[in-house]
């Protein structure tokens, strides 16, 4: 069973629909028992860091997520919330990764949010075993995770390289949206579902 964590974030149904297209059923839940008993856990989302963390803390999900041992996939906001903190609302996050999420610098003529198709490179996670360097993925975000020892792929936006994904133990995280990234994103989801 695949548990999709409910925490009042957007874009959850598009992830569940993508899983369904791949032939997998999933359940949207904030029930600790269901999450702990799931074979795989997915933590997707679009939203704002501080309100998302408030929901997780109020429902006792922060400690649950940090203690999970099954394959876990964080997507977009889900990836950022797994870091130590975020500049968005000066939010203390889950701390699975020691990184601080930063806002894209203003005043450089960049379009913020970073939105649309971009490539990823330097792939170093088994979730990418069917992907290639330079695959295009779909991004929508105003905050980013700097490069670190846990970076498992890299994206470059107007001269700034940042973590397109993170990997630590059973935790796999993607800044981009695999469910909106066509064949390249589908390959990643399938790898996660079939065994990373």
Tens place of pLDDT for every residue, the chain, 196 residues? 999 999 988 789 999 999 999 999 999 999 999 999 999 999 998 889 999 999 999 999 999 999 999 999 999 999 999 999 999 999 999 999 999 999 998 867 778 899 999 999 999 999 999 999 999 999 999 999 999 999 999 999 988 999 999 999 999 999 999 999 999 999 999 999 998 6
Distance of CA 147 to the CA centre of its chain: 15
Quick check: is 76 catalytic? yes
Contact 114, 104 (CB under 8 A): yes
Q: Which helix (H) or strand (E) holds 5?
A: strand 2-5
Reported residue count of the chain is 196
Write down the pLDDT at residue 76: 96
Quick check: is 87 catalytic? no
Q: Are strands 100-103 and 85-86 parallel, antiparallel or unpaired?
A: parallel
CB atoms within 10 A of CB 194: 9
Contacts of 99 (CB under 8 A, 6+ apart): 83, 84, 145, 146, 148, 150, 163, 166
Q: Of these residues, 76, 155, 173, 191, which one is catalytic?
A: 76
| Alpha-carbon span 69 to 142, nearest angstrom | 30
Look up the pTM and report it.
Answer: 0.95
| Alpha-carbon span 19 to 128, nearest angstrom | 17
Write down the pLDDT at residue 125: 96
Q: Of these residues, 114, 141, 172, 177, which one is catalytic?
A: 177
Contact 114, 76 (CB under 8 A): no
Helix residue ranges per DSSP H, 82-174: none
φ/ψ of residue 151, rounded to 5? -65, 125
Write down the pLDDT at residue 95: 98
* CATH number for region 2-194: 3.40.50.880
Q: Of these residues, 149, 179, 191, 194, which one is catalytic?
A: 179
**Residue 113, phi-psi category: left (phi > 0), alpha (psi -120 to 50), beta (remainder):** beta
Quick check: is 88 catalytic? no
């Amino acid at each position: 069973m695949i548990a999709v964590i409910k925490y009042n974030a957007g874009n959850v149904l598009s992830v569940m629909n993508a899983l369904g297209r791949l032939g997998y059923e999933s359940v949207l839940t904030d029930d600790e028992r269901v999450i702990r008993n799931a074979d795989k856990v997915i933590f997707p989302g679009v939203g704002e860091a501080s309100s998302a963390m408030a929901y997780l803390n109020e429902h006792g999900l922060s400690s649950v997520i940090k203690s999970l041992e099954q394959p876990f996939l964080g997507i977009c906001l889900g990836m950022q919330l797994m870091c130590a903190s975020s500049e968005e609302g000066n939010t203390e996050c889950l701390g699975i990764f020691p990184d601080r999420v930063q806002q894209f610098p203003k005043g450089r003529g960049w379009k913020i949010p970073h939105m649309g198709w971009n490539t990823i490179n330097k792939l170093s996670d088994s979730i990418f075993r069917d992907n290639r360097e330079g695959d295009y993925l779909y991004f929508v975000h105003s905050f980013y995770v700097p490069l670190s020892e846990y970076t498992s792929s890299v994206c470059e936006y107007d001269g700034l390289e940042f973590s397109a994904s993170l990997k630590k133990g059973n935790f796999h995280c993607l800044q981009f949206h695999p469910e909106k990234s066509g064949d390249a994103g589908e390959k990643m989801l399938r790898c996660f579902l079939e065994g990373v």
